[in-house]
Amino acid sequence: MRVLKFGGTSVANAQNIKLVLDIINQKSQKEPLVVVVSALSKVTDLLQMAASKAAANDDSFKEIVAEIEKKHLDILKEFIPVSAQSSLLSHVKRIVNHLETLLDGCYLLGELSDRTADTILSFGELLSSFVIAEALKQSNPNSMYKDSRELIKTNNQFGKAAVNFDLSNQLIQSYFSHQNASVVVLPGFIASSTEGIATTLGRGGSDYTAAILASALDASELEIWTDVNGMFTANPKIVKQAQPISNISYQEAMELSHFGAKVLYPPTIQPVLRKNIPIIIKNTFEPEAEGTYISNKEMAQTNPVKGISYIDNIALLTLEGSGMIGVTGSSKRLFEVLSSEHINVIFITQASSEHSICIGILNSDAEKAATAINKVFEVEILQNKIDPCIVESNLCIIALVGENMKNHQGLSGRMFSTLGKNNVNIRAIAQGASERNISAVINERDVKKALNTLHENFFEENTVQLNLFVMGVGNVGEKFIEQIHTQRKFLKDNLKINVRVIALSNSRKMHFDEEGISLKDWKESLQNGETAHIQNFINKAKELNLRNSIFVDITANATVSDVYADFLKQSIAVVTCNKIACSSAYSNYKKLKSLSRQYNAPFLFETNVGAGLPIIDTVKNLIASGDKVHKIQAVLSGSLNFIFNNFDEQNSFHDVVKEAGVQGFTEPDPKIDLSGVDVARKILILIRESGYEMDIEDIENNSFLPAACMETTNNEDFFKSLITHNSHFEGLLKEALEKDSRLKFVAQFENGKASVGLQLIPKDHPFYNLEGKDNIVLFYTDRYVDQPLLIKGAGAGAAVTASGIFADVIRIGNI
């Protein structure tokens, strides 16, 4: 004999019930079946709502009753021939009339007792099982209906009654020993006390009903039919990459179901475990899918972690004080008072110092529990030996579950380091001696990030998902997005990095998509986005609270650079080509570096100097390896190098500057490049990364631009001034030609002093043959004394800068 249980979604409507009947008819050809059914989807909630409304003297409960009646009558009409409908419809109406009478009583009395609530809630399964049994008889005449209340007996603990197994087993075995039907349909969830009063087995109790029957009948298997392909490695609604678990032990399944794996009601396992009856979780809507097989069968040891689960709506209660140290009975008094208040303890941890005990309970019980605890320990609290109970609400318990975890070292460390890396604060930790479960209490707002981070670490072949929040989609930003789109598959297949762009913003619009913006049509999505607002952008990124989040700043905007600290404090990494933050006041630069370390959030800005060249990274490695930089000489502006390489007797200075702008080598305001401010910022960043303290005001800027050019307030006037002062620029060129030299804008640092300015570079100097928009840097250090360390290459251009930003993003993925 085999026992099948079908959940609420499996019997939600006539269409689903047809699938259920097909499964039953197919399986009943091979062996006798016991079929347990839940209430139709949402009906138990409707009954609960109707009872609450009736007790509150709200007569709208009658509308709910009418809705429940219609649901069941419609299904009967769908399956039963018209000629046979009359008596069955009347039977349903009689059941509904009984329900309405009970609710009328609640309405008149203005109260709802636990006993009455159980009776009212039982109508969901009574109606669904009757309707499904009658529908089944149309295709299988050798099937029948049996009321579970006649077979399963409990105590009078209404709401979650305890089963009298001796009596129940005797009644079940006696009934089925005289039964020859191929299928017997029974309602789940409901039972009755030894006095015959209706009781219930707790929400989800239909699974329990099926397990009780399977155990009593020594069934070959217990099949739980639901709307998913078995138990998953995590909740698939929260973790999109969650995978079905093919085989799992009873103990692992029990742990996962206790921690919120809702496909299985936790008490279900105990009755069948004693008889070693396998449980199979199957999908009504994909009956051919493998499902999850739960048994004591020895399984190959692969991943020691079988699943990651959680319980939400948790409150953490802490009782602490010196009056508990060495005092026997404190724990006994604490748990006794909770027991007397019928409060279930979900989580316990106590320090070996005995100074404090932490317990996790449901949020809804927190106030009652704290009041009761404070009353029991009132004397100690008044004597200041124990502090009043501390309550922290809106928490969640996450758990790593696996039978073989005890045989693998370092799982706890791996779990907590993974959470810490993503700024998930752990409030309490518990691990049993069996090491089958490692639990941690965290903030409820962090549960999605925590589950996804842990699942990524333990189940996804070390694939790291990076979630990018990109601000600035001009020339460089557009190239950056294009490079991500082109390389996504390569990164995922070869580097195990999954890059998703979650947000895009320009100065006018911003667009968010938690599942990742399609990079094929991102421009259209951005155009149709909401009005851009930097604080709203920050708030949305915080609210999404995604793992491995990275803020990518591809602007030259000071306001944007001012918000880096806000992101770093949320453990959101920052990647930027914007030089303003790192060249701002030294105190701000140090603060950002400190926040990066404190919150374990990378702060990378390789493109601040040399676009895609590995200049900053090289300096970091030199310093980290114990070297010391004494002198730096560099051409750091690809824009100025392009300009002075192309400025000759045939091309005026004005025309070359214009062309540099057209090719994207200068900032939108070319004065930033030509004034030397941009170069000063770059050398300042290199000086700071070399370990020296300096501010921008300490750098001598020898500008080659006439004062009148610098005083212009817009680009149009600036370019006019270049024409006006053309003779000045021709004079600079003439002097260079006369001395057989080339003009280069050079940054240098030596003996604690720094300067930037235009220099005449002779033929024998390394800078002389620097072509196009290239940059070059010479580092003189303890190790590179006579011959400097030289880095040279393209130092400007949208594609090159974008590739440098992209490299920083990938670097974070590899950390």
Ranges of H-type helices in 692-786: 707-710, 715-724, 726-738
> From the centroid of its chain, how far is CA 195?
50
Q: What phi, psi does 760 have (nearest 5°)?
A: -90, 120
**d(Cα 358, Cα 370) in Å, to the nearest integer?**
12
Catalytic annotation, pick one of 540, 682, 744, 773:
682
**d(Cα 473, Cα 477) in Å, to the nearest integer?**
4
Token code pair at residue 364? 């809804």
**Contact yes or no for 639/796 (Cβ under 8 A):** yes
Which of 316-354 are b and which e, b meaning 16 or more Cβ less than 10 Å from the residue's Cβ? bbbbbbebbeeeeebeeebeebbeeeebebbbebbeeee
Residue 119, SS3? helix
Task: Strand 198-200: give its sheet, edge to edge.
Answer: 153-154, 190-193, 198-200
Strand pairing category for 33-37 and 183-187: parallel
The torsion angle over the Cα atoms of residues 521, 525, 528 and 532, rounded to 10 degrees, is -130
Of the candidates 440, 510, 471, 50, which has an alpha carbon nearest to the alpha carbon of residue 259?
A: 440
Task: Show the CA angle centred on residue 232, arms to residues 241 and 415, nearest 5°.
Answer: 70
HSE-CB of 182 using CA atoms within 13 angstroms? 15
Q: Which residues contact 567 (CB under 8 A, 6 or more apart)?
A: 538, 541, 551, 573, 574, 601
**Contact yes or no for 219/34 (Cβ under 8 A):** yes
Residue 702, SS3? strand
**d(Cα 682, Cα 347) in Å, to the nearest integer?**
54
Residue 414, SS3? helix
**d(Cα 404, Cα 434) in Å, to the nearest integer?**
10
Does 671 participate in catalysis according to the annotation?
Answer: no
Residue 258, SS3? helix
Token code pair at residue 70? 């219609």
Of the candidates 165, 129, 149, 161, which has an alpha carbon nearest to the alpha carbon of residue 34?
A: 129
HSE-CB of 357 using CA atoms within 13 angstroms? 19
DSSP calls for 335-393: HHHHHHTT----EEEE-TT-SEEEEEEEGGGHHHHHHHHHHHTHHHHHTTSSPPPEEEE
Q: Return the DSSP state at 54.
A: H
**d(Cα 205, Cα 188) in Å, to the nearest integer?**
7
**d(Cα 19, Cα 21) in Å, to the nearest integer?**
5
Q: Which amino acid is at 439?
A: S
**d(Cα 451, Cα 458) in Å, to the nearest integer?**
11
Catalytic annotation, residues: 682
